[in-house]
Each structure stands twice: as C-alpha cells, then as structure tokens.
C-alpha cells in the first residue's frame, strides 16, 4: 500500500511541476482513496481548488491538510493566501500568525506578515517585519527566484523606513545635539545611525591579541600624547627626507600587501603586490631597518622621541606609506588593540579621506591622527596625486605598564608555541 501511495504521489508531483494540472489532480484523487489523511494530497487538492478560485473548497482541504500535518508552516501560509484572495483579513492574519507560531523564522511567513501590515497602512510596523525577513534570508545572490520580487520590495521598504527615521531623529535631536561638546558629538551621531539601522555598531576586532574590556575608541585626542607637538614640528624635515628617498631610493619602496601564492587574499586581491599602495620601511615587525633609518636621520630622531609600542614579532612598525591616485584601501582590521596607530600626514592632495568606524576624516599635512586600527577602517585617495603619510605604532594609553608587560609576554609565548607553523 505505502509503495503504491508513494509512487502515485511522486507521479502527481511530477505532473504538477510539468504544468499538467488535470493529470496531477487525478493522481492525487487516487492517493486520497488509498490514504484519506495524506497531507500532501490534501494540500494539493486545496491548491488546485484555489487555482480554480473555489476558495471555500480550498480552505476545507487546507484545514484537513493542517490537521494531518500540524507542524507544516507552508500549509498555513497557503491558507492565509486563500483568505487574502477571499477578502477575509481577520482570518488571513490569524493564519499568518499561526504559521509563524510554528516557525518564527519561516521566510515566506515573515514576508506575508509584513505585506499584510503594509496593506493595513502600517508602514513602520511593516518595515520592522521586512527587516526581520531580510535578516533570515540568504545573501541576495542566493535569493530564491520565487521570493526575489518580495525581497527586493522588502529592501526598498526597509531603506525608505531607515531614511525617514534618520530624518525624524535629525530634526528631533537638533536641540540636545547643540548642547553637546564637540568631543562627544560624533558618538551620538553614530548612536542615531545605529538606532535607525543605517550601520551596525563598530567593535574592535583583533587579528592577533585582544585586550578585553578596552573601549573601542576610533580616534584618540592628540592632546593626550605629550610627544605630538614635537613630532608635528619636525614635519618639514621629515617631508624633505621622504622626497629625497623617493628621488634616490625608489626601488626600496615595496607593496604593502604581499601575500604568497596559495594564501587567501580576500579583500586585498586588487592591491596584492601592487605599487598602488607602497611603503618605505623604517621599522618592520619590531626590528629597525637600519639602512633606511640611516638615510632619514631627522625621521629617526623624531621616532626615538616617541614611546613606540614594543610587542614581540609584531611592532613597532614605522614607514612612509604612499597611496596612489584613485586608489582605495578596503575596510579591514588590525592586529591588536593593545597598540594604536599614528599617521603624520606629509603630502595630502585634494580628495583624500580616512574612515575609522563611523567617523570619516581628512588628513591635514603636519597634524597627526591617532586611532585604534582594530576598528574597521579604510582609506581613499580620489585625487590626482599620491598621498603620503608617516605611520608608526604607540601603546594604547589605557593599558598600565604591568599590562604592557603582559602583552609582551603573551605574544612572545604565542609566537614560540606556534614557531613550527
């Protein structure tokens, strides 16, 4: 009996997929004679009745299918569609909610719930559910063809809601924002962007060592670092040395990104082994590049006056970094939040910007930027001339001297343990 039922059900499914509806319905009728509570046959009879606009019969079969398969959300989802076409909003809403009670992450159910709310002139509630649907949907490249139009509509509604919410907050928060100190205003602009869903909160993500419980501060205040004034005063001398080595030592500049064959390059594919982002190394992974430092004595003296971070096998690093015109360094994260990265801009043409987390800044020649590079960051040179900065590492000032020693010990031990690899 079971083999016969299964064979008939398989044949009916093939006929339906081939668009041979009458043949399919006849085969399902044979299934129901042998197995009156067969859920797929009952469901299919309901679908066939719906296609004929026989809504009452469709509801009757779908109810029977639900009784036979009470944990199948698709049956209730289809039932809600029949109620919608029948013009019964109350029963449609009940069926949608019953469907989602079985599976709160059922994508067609979430899309139907959002569409129902939209038809009821509740756009904000609809956008919230559309956002939930997009969260459980696969990436757009893998959207099912049958749901793609609904998912595209969901994205449009979410985007419109986000922009409307952002505009509302902008107007409502104008007065309290005006009372903020400039140093904290960016925090609350970012908070509003997170609240509206325009961005996710930016967090520190370390590729090597994480110092837990440190705040994720994008840019640090220059005034908190006593060496800044002297370094900035040395900018003209450092720039002269940069120009000199660019003129006489160009072969000593090398691509910053240089993965070996077979290593995954991810977002670095366009810059891998490319001179569009090149560097002249002064310190590399904790070791001085003696020849290059000798050619740049003023720069070497300026770095000696700074307490650079010393972390086994990792830093200090110091370099002249040259970004070619019309080049973007893609978003990425650094190695450890125990150190900060310093930029001393030396040559900055028009069209150069830098983003750390939510905050985007421009470089100003001779004025340092100090930031946590474990927060997602990126750089752009949209101008027509190269942009060059001096880059080096310093300790995160929120770590005590004893914690610095712990960082050194941990990285040294990890490097020794993994030395075979």
CATH number at residue 234: 2.60.120.330
Q: How far apart are CA 187 and CA 167, in angstroms?
A: 18
Select from 164, 179, 202 the last residue of a domain.
164
Same domain, 160 and 230: no
Would 212 be classed as within a structural domain?
no
> What's the domain count of the chain?
2
Select from 141, 164, 187 the last residue of a domain.
164
The reported pLDDT for the residue numbered 75 is 95
Same domain, 114 and 235: no
Would 153 be classed as within a structural domain?
yes
Same domain, 115 and 43: yes
Q: How far apart are CA 140 and CA 47, in angstroms?
A: 29
DSSP assignments along 237-288, one per residue: HHHHHHHHHHHH-GGG-EES--PPTTS--GGGTTTTT-TTEEEEEEEETTEE
Burial 250-275 (b: 16+ CB within 10 A, else e): eebbeebbeeeeeeeeeebeebeebe
* Contact present, 251 and 265 (Cβ < 8 Å): no
The angle that helices 107-119 and 148-172 make with each other, rounded to 10 degrees, is 60
Would 18 be classed as within a structural domain?
yes
The reported pLDDT for the residue numbered 399 is 94
- Cα–Cα distances in Å, from 152 out to 131, 137, 306? 12, 11, 53
Structural domain for 145, as ranges: 2-164
Same domain, 126 and 245: no
Would 187 be classed as within a structural domain?
no
Burial class (CB in 10 A: 0-12, 13-18, 19+), 24: buried
Take residue 189 and report the two structure tokens written for it: 């602009």
* Contact present, 348 and 402 (Cβ < 8 Å): no
The reported pLDDT for the residue numbered 234 is 97
Note the pLDDT tens digit of each residue in 85-135: 999 999 999 999 999 999 999 999 999 999 999 999 999 999 999 999 999
Same domain, 245 and 377: yes
Q: How far apart are CA 312 and CA 334, in angstroms?
A: 16
How many other CB atoms are found less than 10 A from the CB of residue 362? Answer: 12
CATH number at residue 125: 1.25.40.10
Would 198 be classed as within a structural domain?
no
- Cα–Cα distances in Å, from 404 out to 228, 317, 411? 21, 17, 11
Q: How far apart are CA 400 and CA 390, in angstroms?
A: 26
Query: Which residues of the chain have a pLDDT value below 70?
Result: 1, 5, 9, 420-421
The reported pLDDT for the residue numbered 1 is 53
Would 213 be classed as within a structural domain?
no
- Cα–Cα distances in Å, from 409 out to 80, 209, 413, 415? 63, 11, 6, 10
Same domain, 249 and 321: yes
Would 209 be classed as within a structural domain?
no
Q: How far apart are CA 280 and CA 284, in angstroms?
A: 10
The reported pLDDT for the residue numbered 19 is 77
Q: Is the peptide bond before 316 cis (omega within 30 degrees of 0)?
A: yes
3-state secondary structure of 392: strand
Q: How far apart are CA 404 and CA 397, in angstroms?
A: 10
Largest CA distance in the chain: 95
Take residue 127 and report the two structure tokens written for it: 């956008």
Would 94 be classed as within a structural domain?
yes
Same domain, 116 and 244: no
Same domain, 231 and 144: no
Residue with tokens 């900065």, as numbered in its chain: 389
């Amino acid at each position: 009996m079971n083999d016969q039922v299964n064979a008939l059900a398989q044949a009916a499914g093939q006929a339906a997929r081939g668009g041979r509806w009458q043949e399919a319905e006849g085969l399902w009728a044979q299934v129901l004679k042998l197995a009156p509570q067969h859920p797929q046959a009952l469901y299919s009879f309901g679908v066939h009745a719906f296609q004929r606009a026989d809504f009452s019969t469709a509801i009757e079969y779908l109810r029977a299918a639900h009784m036979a398969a009470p944990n199948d959300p698709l049956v209730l989802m289809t039932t809600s569609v029949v109620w919608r076409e029948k013009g019964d909003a109350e029963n449609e809403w009940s069926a949608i909610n019953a469907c989602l009670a079985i599976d709160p992450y059922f994508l067609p159910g979430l899309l139907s719930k959002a569409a129902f709310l939209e038809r009821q002139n509740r756009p904000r509630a609809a956008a919230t559910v559309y956002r939930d649907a997009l969260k459980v949907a696969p990436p757009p490249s893998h959207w099912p063809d049958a749901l793609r139009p609904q998912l595209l509509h969901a994205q449009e509604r979410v985007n419109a809601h986000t922009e409307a919410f952002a505009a509302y907050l902008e107007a409502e928060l104008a007065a309290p924002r005006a009372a903020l100190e400039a140093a904290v205003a960016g925090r609350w602009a970012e908070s509003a962007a997170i609240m509206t869903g325009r961005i996710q909160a930016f967090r520190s993500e370390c590729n090597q060592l994480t110092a837990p419980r440190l705040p994720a501060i994008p840019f640090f205040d220059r005034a908190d670092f006593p060496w800044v004034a002297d370094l900035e005063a040395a900018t003209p001398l450092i720039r002269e040395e940069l120009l000199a080595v660019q003129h006489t030592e160009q072969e000593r500049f090398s691509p910053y990104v240089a993965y070996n064959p077979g290593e995954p390059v991810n977002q670095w594919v366009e810059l891998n082994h490319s001179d569009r982002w090149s560097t002249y190394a002064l310190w590399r992974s904790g070791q001085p590049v003696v020849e290059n430092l000798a050619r740049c004595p003023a720069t070497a003296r300026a770095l000696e006056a700074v307490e650079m971070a010393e972390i086994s096998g990792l830093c200090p690093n110091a370099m002249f970094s040259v970004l070619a015109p019309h080049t973007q360094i893609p978003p990425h994260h650094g190695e450890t939040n125990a150190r900060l990265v310093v930029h001393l801009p030396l040559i900055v043409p028009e069209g150069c910007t830098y983003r750390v987390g939510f905050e985007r800044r421009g470089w100003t020649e001779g004025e340092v930027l100090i930031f946590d590079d474990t927060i997602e960051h990126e750089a752009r040179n949209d101008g027509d001339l190269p942009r060059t900065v001096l880059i080096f590492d310093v300790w995160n000032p929120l770590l005590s001297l004893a914690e610095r020693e712990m960082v050194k010990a941990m990285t040294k031990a990890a490097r020794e343990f993994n030395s075979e690899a």
